[in-house]
Every structure is written in C-alpha cells, then in structure tokens.
Amino acid sequence: MASRHGCSVVLAVIVLLSLLAPSTWAIRELGPGLKLKAWLGNIAAAPVAPICNRPPTVTEDRRINKGNLSVLVYNAEWLFFKGARRSFIPCPGRGCPWKDLSAAQEHFEHVAAAIRIADADIVHLSEVESCDALERLVALLPGMGYRYYLVQGRDVATGQNVGLLTRVDPVRVLDRTEERLPFPLPESHCAATKRPAESDILRGPEDGGVADIQPHIADEVDVDATATEYGLSKHYVTRIFVNNMSIWLAGVHFLAIPSDTDRCPKREVQAAVLKKYLQKLSTFEKEELIIMGDFNDFDHDVPDASGPADEPISQALAIVKSTTQPALLNAASLWADPNVRYSNWFDRNRNCRDDGGDEHCLIDHALVSKGLASRIVATKPMHIYKEFCGKMDSDHWPIYVEFDMT
C-alpha cells in the first residue's frame, strides 16, 4: 500500500506538470492497473462546484393546474457553457457540438424553447454541466415557476450530470448512491450476444475523435480498466408530495452504446445498483415512483421505430422495472404506433441527414409505478424539430407524460 507521503509526491508532480504544460494531455501511472489521465490545465484550475441539491426551507407547489402533474424527460445534449473544466473533454470547444460560447448560448435557447413548449411541471435533464448551467437555463424560462436541482456526479470523463427543474419543490435532499457491484451479474447473458457493427461505434476522445461524438457515445470511461465492480455515475433520487401523494423521483443517465457487449454487463450493474438503492428507501406499497432519463438501452417490451435493429442485448430496463411489484410501466408502451417510438437520432450511415427508420431509437424512458400508471391521461414523444448535422437542438427529443392527480 502506498504511503500518504508517496501519494503527496504524486499529487505534487501532477500539479507541477499542470503549471508547466497547462494545455497538454498527460498519463501517469498510479499503481498496478491504474492510470490517471487528465487534462492537467483544466483540473488544476477547476473551481469548487456550486451546490444546488438541497430543497428550500419552505417548500412550494407552483403548478398552474393543481389537478394534474406533468413530467418531461429530456437529454439536452451537452448543456455546457463553462468548458467542462472537471472533465477530459472541452465544451464549448472541440469536444462537443458547440464550438464556442456563442454557439452554446444558442443551444441553451433551443433547449429552453422545447421546455417552454412542453410546459411540464417536472423536467428531468441529462448531459448537464452544473448548477450554473441550470441557473442559466431557468433564466431563459421566466415566469414558468421552475427551481433547479443537481447532485454532482462522478463522470470525470465528460463532466456531465443529470439535473432537475421542478415546480413542486422536493422535500428531501437530492441524493445518490456510491455503491458499486461486481459485474457481470450472475443472470447476465451479455457475453452470449453479438458484438456491435463497426458503424455503431464512432470515434471517441481516446482516439482523437472527440469532435465526432454522436448518440450513444458521450459518456464516462473507466479510470481503472481492470476494475471488476461498477457503479452509477450520473443519477439523483429525491421525493415530492403532490396532492398528499408521496412520489419518489429518480433521474438517471446510464452507460452508452446499447449494442456493445463489453458495456452491456456494466449497464446491467448500474440498473441493479439503482434498484437496490431505491428498495432501501421505500417498499413503494404506499408511495409512488418515477424513474426517468437516458438509459442508453432499449426496452424488450416496447419495440421502437427501428424494429429488430434495436432489440436489447442487456437486461437493464427489465432490472430497473422490477424495482416495484407490479413492475414499473414504460410510458412509451402507451404510444400505439411503433413508428413514433423514438427519442434519439442515431446517424448510422453518417450522411448527416435524418433518414428515419433504424436511425430512430428509443433510449430515453419514463418508468412509472402502478398508482401513477393508472392516472396517465396523456403521453407522447415530442418530435418538435428536425435533426441534421450542425443543428442547434439536442440530438434527443423530449418525452412528455401527464397524470390526473384529482
């Protein structure tokens, strides 16, 4: 075991190198099987992240229609404006679609426009930079009654987090679990599935392709490639009361690339970690649950617009849905037409056009418990903009769900 003095020496070397070469990549060995790869200039200058995970002392319900509760699930795609100083990937910059602050601000305005159209009471957001980013977004939504919340995640590769905008203040601090579980799970069948086609895997930051980040790619990488355990880097859990009903909210962003057999068991473990944590918090016999976000996976029970191309190889959705008994309902199962079951554009042939068909994937989901499932009065995918290379909207479309709470 390394001594504390030894660790101090390593850290001192890292800081010194960051001062000498603030704009270079560095790899340093920190022990068997462990490498620290950091954008030294960014990490040396990284400020303390602001905190916005605590509810107000006096909670409020600012819903316009107190008889209904509406929820929006939305991967905002790199909702960043400070440059991802905690991550390996500069954004705005060469690491994401927004090349400078002006482009990032335009993207914020497009995301705000989508949220304004939905006018939902609760908005889950994936790929959020920070509390500051949420504050900037809410400033573009004046008069809508939103407060913003975020608990800092552990994705140091991208710096992405998941955030919450809500008109119903939480009664519990937004929290997360740091638990890690061994993978693969005993019941996993990931190893028996086929590997992804080459066209399904685009270049990432490790091979110089950060500018080519596409759906299913932008997410965390392992610091320790030899690890046998995995956890859920981006999530939050909190609780709200709506018309005397206790509702737990869980927002997630799972590991990317649905067809990759190497990532399949890790995503299943993420699902198991979330399920275990939630079941510690409640039996859900007298409380309800909404789990929402970008699961980066397909639901075997809800075929999407891509058809057989999007048959899941993992059990991640099944594991999460089994958090309650009866199982959670995927709101998309109520969309009668399979052709509208998509929330993400995946440019498989890389022609920069949305060709529909197997380029339309459903990887964002809203999963709800029995008591809420019976109250759904409206749910839909919001295909409110066109996708193409160079667009300023997200590469995901929002999902809307509305409940009758009378």
pTM of this structure: 0.84
Check whether 80 has a pLDDT greater than 80.
Answer: yes
Q: For residue 167, what pLDDT is reported?
A: 99
Average pLDDT, the chain: 85
Q: Residue 373 has what pLDDT?
A: 99
The architecture of the domain spanning 68-404 is 4-Layer Sandwich (3.60)
* Model pLDDT, residue 49: 60
Q: Taking the mean position of all CA atoms in its chain, how far away is CA 200? A: 20
* Higher-confidence position of 312 and 43: 312
List pLDDT tens digits, range 189-205: 997 665 454 444 443 33
Using pLDDT thresholds of 50, 70 and 90, give the confidence band for residue 88: confident
Which has more pLDDT, 240 or 199? 240
At residue 32, what are phi and psi to the nearest 5 degrees? -60, 125
pLDDT tens by residue, 384-404 = 999 999 999 999 999 999 999
Average pLDDT over residues 279-308: 98
The yes-or-no verdict on residue 154 having pLDDT over 80 is yes
Domain boundaries along the sequence of the chain: 4-45, 68-404
CB-CB neighbours of 64 under 10 Å: 11
pLDDT tens, residue by residue, 363-378: 999 999 999 999 999 9
pLDDT (0 to 100) of residue 203: 33
Q: What pLDDT, on the 0 to 100 scale, is given for residue 56?
A: 96
pLDDT confidence band for 208 (50 / 70 / 90): very low
Q: Which among 325, 324, 275 is positioned nearest to 295, based on CA atoms?
A: 275
81: how many CB neighbours lie within 10 A of its CB? 21
Quote the CA–CA distance of 258 and 156 in Å, as a whole number. Answer: 21
Q: What is the pLDDT of residue 83?
A: 74
Q: CA torsion, points 347, 353, 356, 362, in degrees to nearest 10? A: 40
pLDDT at 351 over 90: yes
Under the banding of pLDDT at 50, 70 and 90, the label for residue 224 is low
- Tell which wins on pLDDT, 6 or 209: 6
What's the helix, strand, coil split of the chain in %, to 5?
25, 25, 50
In angstroms, how far apart are the furthest CA atoms of the chain? 63
Reported as a single tens digit per residue, the pLDDT across 97-111 is 999 999 999 999 999
Question: Is the CB of residue 264 less than 8 Å from the CB of residue 222?
Answer: no
Q: What mean pLDDT do residues 309-333 have?
A: 98
Given this model, what pLDDT does residue 11 score? Answer: 36
Q: Is the pLDDT of residue 319 over 50?
A: yes
